[in-house]
A and B are shown apart, each in its own frame.
Chain A
Amino acid sequence: MSAGFYYGTEVFLNGLMTGVLYSLVALGFVLIFKSSGIFNYAQGVMALFAALTLVGLQDGQVPFAHLINSIFGTQVHHFGWHLPALLAILLTAGVMVILAIVVERYILRHLVNQPDIILFMATIGLAYFMEGFGDLMWGSEIKKLDVGIPQGGNLWIEENTAFLGGDDFYGFYLDSLDIVAAVFAGLLVLSLVLFSQYTKTGRALRAVADDHQAALSVGISLRFIWVVVWSIAGFIALVAGIMWGSKSGVQFSLSLIALKALPVLMLGGFTSIPGAIVGGLIIGVGEKMFEFLIGAPFLGGATENWFAYMLALVFLVFRPQGLFGDKIIERV
């Protein structure tokens, strides 16, 4: 085999890894949409807010320091501690649960039975609020996120695959961070499946997802389920924020990763967890292979953004509900 073939394989593998990162973002959307019919526009900002909170807690940053200093003329910035990564992650997960409670208490509860578009608009408002709140709370500067995940090309894989393609092949490049992300995404999906299949709350969650009215009639608290679902989505946002934030530092453009989830959702379906995973992988591989084979050599490059949406569009023509989405049949 030529080096070109192996480099193509390398692009394919990296597409899979990138797809996993897309899936992580898409999963949060799917969970909320499935349980409440809300397209949560704020999911990307939740990833940003979670990552900001994680770095802030880990580095002992004083929340609202700029505000406090400008009001009281003080010079407080840090508490002086540096928390272990695991503890900071657990505390951040706790903050995301509190956020879920607040969202349910002050937004969702007041919008029960409102049309979907109203709920969607509410999440747009939530996104802008959280972005500003995060800015006020933790500041706008770019923060280095270090929770101990290795980064860079995995040397072991490179060295042990270099022999495959002769002198022109340098071994497969796989980013250690992407490998860790893939493992975590797998564990996350497995945990979600086990949770929804084998726990009482999980079964209640599935019941709400299937039919709100029926779930209510058997005594399932819709409000409690919403808190659970938004908490899980918050935790997924935290994982996505960690993975993406480790690459670029934690900064406000992190919220734009939501754009990467949209074609995944269109392709995989808004109501399917396996759809989010498979959709992410297809988009990741599709855009990377297209760029490698056609985009860079013939079209001048930078084809990935539009190709992802075009690919999703093509799928929609044949399966409007997405690959795994529920088929919507409405009686006239």
Chain B
Amino acid sequence: MKFTKLAAAAVAAVITAAPVMADLVVPSLSYRTGPYAAGGIPFADGYADYLTLINERDGGVGGEKITMPECETGYNTEKGVECYEATKGEGALVYEPLSTGITYQLIPKATADDIPVHTLGYGRTSAKNGDVFSHVFNYPANYWDGASGMINYLLETNNNDINGKTIALVYHNSAFGKEPIRTLEELGKKHGFKLTLLPVDHPGQEQKSQWLQIRREKPDYVLMWGWGVMNQVAVQEAANVRFPMENFIGIWWSGADHDVLPAGAAADGYKAVTFHGVGSDFPVYDDIQKYVVDAGKAAGSGDTVGSVLYNRGLYAAMLAVEAIKDAQAATGKSDITAGDLRDAMEGLEITEARMESLGLGGFGPEFKVTCENHGGDGLVGVAQWDATAKTWSLISDFKPTDGEVIDALIKEDSEAYAKENNIESRCN
């Protein structure tokens, strides 16, 4: 009898505690396990914590709570597609796949399903052309902006003259790692620098050949396009061959705290381009601490708050929430659809005043999305690692990249995709 009562009470508790079916579903395709978990966890935590903050502090968006079904992809394309298929039926509003491979697979699927995909600083670069890629958004910056941002920084620090300089690109020998090659080759023709390509095979644990070549040829600068263990090994090998760390610049996926920490003091001075702020010296983090971490609702243990990839996850979630607000305002209803959100993303404008009101003043660049331009303005800054303080500092403002070179490449690639897939122009 006692057992029956207890069981009944338990069932009742479960029923009453079950969440009301929420209208705003923002799935998180995360990877907390496997070889790339060290990068996936802080991003997923930042993404989840910001959405939790919105629920806890503001009661959701426009009175609607956000739910975030999380699905483990293991950074595996097949699993990522499975996650998409498994969660889209829950009323998913937007996807942040956190993988270029998964993004490529989702482009046709999400377009057919009328669900927008946001690829923050990764994915298919030419998706910036919204005229062709109606459901993919890669604001505020893409890989080619990253490559151009690196070269712009070198121009800036060399009195606008890098003619005759030698630059080596150490890159992950994959579609991701090869992304900047064409852009850098074009920029090489324009500015007169010599580019040496040094591919590193997956996973990148062994890079002796590449760094011996760098030691022999002594390039003026080394750029890196890496992810996972490749980053930590490259930073260590650069230190081993005594390559000047201040002349070593990584893409934003090679510029996290855990990329430099294993090398200790030897990593001091390493740089990485970025499209968002560093550290936790922004008012929104006080709210994260109060409403999320201290309340015991953080997605992780709270020890990654303010780290590079946590900030990136938080930034991605913030951009999703802002687009949801715009969609609600435009449609006049709180329970928006994925199609409504896509339309709002196409008109999203992030100004400094808006960032300030969110407690993120100065955290990211201003940008505006249009039908033709799904990538924003492509502003890129540079951050540098201080091994003593164990902190990143922004050493450059978010600055424009070389639109003349990048736009032509985007047009060429996206038009080829449009022709291949019979996609008609829709923005005119």
Task: State which residues 244-297 of A face B: CB under 8 Å.
Answer: 244, 247-249, 251-257, 260, 288, 291-292, 295-296
A304 and B240: CB pair below 8 A? no
B198 and A301: CB pair below 8 A? yes
A293 smallest CB distance to B (angstroms): 11
Chain A: CB-nearest residue to B215: A173
Find A251's partner among B173, B229, B301 (CB 8 Å cutoff).
Answer: B229
Given contacts A173-B212, A247-B233, A253-B205, contact A141 B264 (CB under 8 A): no
A7 and B216: CB pair below 8 A? yes
**Which residue of B37, B206, B241, B301 has the most chain A CB atoms within 10 A of its CB atom?**
B206
Task: State which residues 183-242 of B face A: CB under 8 Å.
Answer: 197-201, 203, 205-206, 208-210, 212-213, 215-216, 228-229, 232-233, 236-237, 239-242
Given contacts A251-B232, A300-B197, contact A18 B38 (CB under 8 A): no
Q: Which of B28-36, B129-137, B349-357, B361-369 contacts A (4 or more CB under 8 A)?
A: B28-36
B37 and A73: CB pair below 8 A? no
B38 and A140: CB pair below 8 A? yes
Alpha-carbon gap, A295 to B232, bound state (A): 24
Given contacts A152-B242, A153-B242, contact A249 B258 (CB under 8 A): yes
Chain B: CB-nearest residue to A22: B206
A304 and B38: CB pair below 8 A? no
A69 and B232: CB pair below 8 A? no
Task: State which residues 271-296 of B face A: CB under 8 Å.
Answer: 296
Q: Which residues on the B side are within 8 Å of A304 (C-beta)? A: 201, 206, 209
Alpha-carbon gap, A101 to B152, bound state (A): 59
A302 and B242: CB pair below 8 A? no
Given contacts A144-B261, A144-B262, A301-B199, contact A135 B33 (CB under 8 A): yes
Alpha-carbon gap, A324 to B228, bound state (A): 36
Q: Which residues on the B side are within 8 Å of A247 (C-beta)? A: 205, 233, 236-237
Alpha-carbon gap, A251 to B240, bound state (A): 20
Task: State which residues 106-160 of A face B: CB under 8 Å.
Answer: 132, 135, 140-146, 151-153
B21 smallest CB distance to A (angstroms): 26
A170 at the interface (CB under 8 A from B): yes
A96 smallest CB distance to B (angstroms): 22
Chain B: CB-nearest residue to A151: B240
B107 at the interface (CB under 8 A from A): no
B264 smallest CB distance to A (angstroms): 7
B41 at the interface (CB under 8 A from A): yes
A238 at the interface (CB under 8 A from B): no
A249 and B262: CB pair below 8 A? yes
Alpha-carbon gap, A144 to B36, bound state (A): 16
Alpha-carbon gap, A164 to B199, bound state (A): 30
A170 and B215: CB pair below 8 A? yes
**Which residue of A145, A175, A247 has the most chain B CB atoms within 10 A of its CB atom?**
A247
B212 and A14: CB pair below 8 A? yes
Find A291's partner among B209, B215, B232, B296 (CB 8 Å cutoff).
Answer: B209
Q: Which residues on the B side are within 8 Å of A242 (C-beta)? A: none
Chain A: CB-nearest residue to B213: A296
Alpha-carbon gap, A296 to B196, bound state (A): 10
Given contacts A151-B236, A152-B239, A304-B209, contact A249 B261 (CB under 8 A): yes
B35 and A256: CB pair below 8 A? yes
**Which residue of A10, A253, A291, A295 has the most chain B CB atoms within 10 A of its CB atom?**
A253
B38 and A302: CB pair below 8 A? no
Alpha-carbon gap, A305 to B35, bound state (A): 18
Q: Which residues on the B side are within 8 Å of A249 (C-beta)? A: 232, 258, 261-262
A159 smallest CB distance to B (angstroms): 13
B205 and A252: CB pair below 8 A? no
A52 at the interface (CB under 8 A from B): no
Find B203's partner among A140, A256, A302 (CB 8 Å cutoff).
Answer: A256
Alpha-carbon gap, A14 to B210, bound state (A): 12
Chain B: CB-nearest residue to A4: B216
Chain B: CB-nearest residue to A48: B35
Find B32's partner among A140, A152, A254 (CB 8 Å cutoff).
Answer: A140
B199 and A300: CB pair below 8 A? yes
Find A302's partner among B200, B215, B241, B262 (CB 8 Å cutoff).
Answer: B200
Task: State which residues 31-49 of B face A: CB under 8 Å.
Answer: 32-38, 41
Q: Which residues on the A side are within 8 Å of B228 (C-beta)? A: 253
B206 and A302: CB pair below 8 A? no
**Which residue of A173, A255, A257, A302 has the most chain B CB atoms within 10 A of its CB atom?**
A302
B212 and A253: CB pair below 8 A? no
Q: Which residues on the A side are within 8 Å of B41 (C-beta)? A: 140-141
Q: Which residues on the B side are within 8 Å of A173 (C-beta)? A: 212, 215, 241
B232 and A302: CB pair below 8 A? no
B301 and A248: CB pair below 8 A? no
B206 and A141: CB pair below 8 A? no
B333 smallest CB distance to A (angstroms): 37
Find B33's partner among A140, A142, A254 (CB 8 Å cutoff).
Answer: A140
B212 and A257: CB pair below 8 A? no
**Which residue of A145, A152, A255 has the most chain B CB atoms within 10 A of its CB atom?**
A152
A66 at the interface (CB under 8 A from B): yes
B277 smallest CB distance to A (angstroms): 22
**Which residue of B200, B205, B213, B236 has the most chain A CB atoms within 10 A of its CB atom?**
B205
B239 and A248: CB pair below 8 A? no
A292 and B209: CB pair below 8 A? yes
B35 and A251: CB pair below 8 A? yes
A11 at the interface (CB under 8 A from B): yes
A141 and B232: CB pair below 8 A? no
B9 smallest CB distance to A (angstroms): 22
Chain B: CB-nearest residue to A170: B215
B254 smallest CB distance to A (angstroms): 14
Given contacts A248-B236, A249-B232, contact A288 B209 (CB under 8 A): yes
A248 and B233: CB pair below 8 A? yes
Given contacts A248-B233, A248-B236, A300-B199, 10 further A-B contacts (CB under 8 A): A69-B301, A77-B301, A132-B33, A141-B41, A142-B261, A142-B262, A143-B262, A144-B264, A151-B236, A152-B242
**Could you list 19 A-B pairs, sorted by A, with CB under 8 Å?**
A66-B301, A69-B301, A132-B33, A135-B37, A140-B37, A140-B41, A141-B258, A142-B262, A151-B236, A151-B239, A247-B233, A247-B236, A248-B233, A252-B34, A253-B36, A260-B205, A301-B197, A302-B201, A304-B201
Write the residues of chain B forming the contact surface with A, with a CB cutoff of 8 angstroms. 32-38, 41, 173, 197-201, 203, 205-206, 208-210, 212-213, 215-216, 228-229, 232-233, 236-237, 239-242, 258, 261-262, 264, 266, 296, 301, 303
9 A-B pairs with least C-beta separation: A249-B262, A253-B35, A302-B199, A140-B37, A253-B229, A142-B258, A152-B240, A302-B173, A305-B201
